[in-house]
Every structure is written in structure tokens, then in C-alpha cells.
A and B are shown apart, each in its own frame.
Chain A
Amino acid sequence: DQQVKQNSPSLSVQEGRISILNCDYTNSMFDYFLWYKKYPAEGPTFLISISSIKDKNEDGRFTVFLNKSAKHLSLHIVPSQPGDSAVYFCAASGETSGSRLTFGEGTQLTVNP
């Protein structure tokens, strides 16, 4: 039962353009969402989060959008840089999952110079 899904295993964009990474969830009890970035041979690092009381959270080049009715969130990176090339995981948590984060499968982003 995959409660958090990232349907695109990979995404390739040109430097300077926008990267849009998508994530869908099925559990309506999730109320907190996060994005993590992972470089090869390193642990995931926290990037940005959003609570379900908001529909947008922005931090520099990174913006997360949440559409609760569609159970969909997305991460926008503008402008994309080659150093952004990594695997991006979305994660969700809620009252029924305690403080456990449920992760998606990840999307490999490649930003080409």
C-alpha cells in the first residue's frame, strides 16, 4: 500500500529553467509534508516542508505547493542549477502515523548545464 507516490522516476531540465517535482498521497489524515534531497552516497537532507493549513511555502529558489483536495503536492525549483541534481523524496506524516514519515519512491532530477 503505497500511500505516498512519486510517479516520475526521473526528470531532466536545463539550467535556469523551472523544475517541477510532483507527489501524490492517498491518506487524507496526512497533515504535514516535507521534501528531502539526496546525493549519492549521502543521507537525505531536509529541504522544505508545508503544513496542511497552508497551500504554499517558499524558501529561496524552492517553493512547495499543496493541493489538499487533489491530495497532491509539488516542489518548484526556480531557477534550476546543476548542483540541484539529486534524488528528491517527498514525505508525509499525520496523526495516525505518529511521527513516522512515509516517503515516496523518489525522483532523480538532472539539471543540464
Chain B
Amino acid sequence: GAGVSQSPSNKVTEKGKDVELRCDPISGHTALYWYRQSLGQGLEFLIYFQGNSAPDKSGLPSDRFSAERTGGSVSTLTIQRTQQEDSAVYLCASRSVNSGNTIYFGEGSWLTVV
């Protein structure tokens, strides 16, 4: 597609359940990022994939969070045993080698843990 596509756009889940969030980057973009924005907060880096290199996982807040990127394209962010503090909008972004350091965001997946 033309832009970064994320699904689901909204997710309400019960505390303790696992959730999966999907990101389909812009075609041809080799770099993929996950950020999140909690209510009233800035954008918090979670994880970064670049080609076949090992991902930069330094932003993942706990071992309940994991992400994978299959085939160098689609990425899935998994949150296990969700907690209320996980409620946030999860933003995926991608970048091409031709766009310098400019990354392009999707619309986000709004997660609410009740």
C-alpha cells in the first residue's frame, strides 16, 4: 500500500490476556520501528528492525513485550499478560534508504487494557 498499515486500529483486552499488533510497512522500506505513546506522554521507542541485522530491542519495557519481522516486511508486536499500564497507542513506522533519517508512521493501534 501507499502508507504504513497497522491493525487492529483499536483493541480492548482484559488484563492478563495476550495481544498481537500488526504492522505492514511501506513497500520497499527496509527499516521498521515500533513506538508507543501513552496518554499525555511523548513517543517512546520500543524496537527497531533493519534488514537482516539483529533488531535493536533496547526500548522494550519488559520481557512481556516481543516483536518479530518475518520476511523483512510485516512485523508483529506481541504483549503477553497485558497490564493496565500497557494501554497506549502503538505506532509503527518505516524508513527507506532513500529517505535519510525520516521515518513514516502508520495510524497506530490503540490498545486499552481493562
Contact = CB atoms under 8 A, between A and B. Distances in A.
The answer to whether A and B assemble together is yes
Interface of A: 6, 32, 34, 36, 41-46, 49, 89, 91, 93, 98-106
A85 to B, nearest CB: 18
Interface of B: 4, 31, 33, 35, 41-45, 48, 50, 56, 59, 91, 93, 95, 100-108, 110
Contact of B101 (A6, A32, A42, A89): A32
Contacts of A41: 107, 110
A93 B45 contact: no
A34 B107 CA distance: 19
Contact of B108 (A6, A43, A99, A104): A43
Nearest to B43: A103
